[in-house]
Structures are given as C-alpha cells and as structure tokens.
Amino acid sequence: MHSLLGYSWAEIASILAVISVLFSGTYWLIRHGAKVLNNAITAGTYPLRQQSQELTNTIKRLNKNFEEEHEKLQRLEQEVEQHDKAIILHEEKIKRLEERK
C-alpha cells in the first residue's frame, strides 16, 4: 500500500478533511462575528449619524441664509452709493445756485 510520511492515503484524506472543516468553521465564525459586530456598531452609532445629518442640514441652511444676507448687503451698498451720488449732485446744484445769487 502507498503512503506519505508514514500515513496511508485514507488517513491523509481524513486529516485534510478535518483541517478543511476547521478552517471553514473558523472562517464562518470570523464572518459571523464581524457581521454581528458591524450591526452592533451601526446600531450604536445611529444617533450620532442622525445628529451629524441634522448638523449638516443646519449648516447648509445657515450657508444659504448667509448668502442671502450677503446679497441683501450688496444691494444696500449699491443703494447707498446711488444716494451718495445723488447727494453730491444736489450739493453741487446748491453751490451753483448760491454762487448765482
């Protein structure tokens, strides 16, 4: 009968079968443990993710409000410039009228 390292082929096949079952079981335990751990982390961090999303939405709203206020401020600055120009024109007219007297 043929043998390898003093074991028969049937014994070697049995040993390989046991090793493959052990590796498969270990692989399944690791995958299952990782899945359970991942689910626990996901459930544990859900409130944090929810608060983070709310914070992101609030920041977006604040940015939008800031942009709107910036646009309003620019419009007001333009109005002030127009009024300044009008005042300067009026002052010049007043000076000319006073000089005519």
Could you tell me the end-to-end alpha-carbon distance of the chain, in angstroms, rounded to an integer?
138
Mean pLDDT, residues 12-27 taken together = 95
What is the rounded distance in angstroms from the CA atom of residue 66 to the CA atom of residue 64?
Answer: 5
What is the rounded distance in angstroms from the CA atom of residue 32 to the CA atom of residue 35?
Answer: 5
What band does 76 get if pLDDT is binned at 50, 70 and 90? very high
Provide the pLDDT for residue 9: 83
For the chain, give the number of residues: 101
Provide the pLDDT for residue 4: 72
101 vs 92, which has greater pLDDT? 92
What band does 54 get if pLDDT is binned at 50, 70 and 90? very high
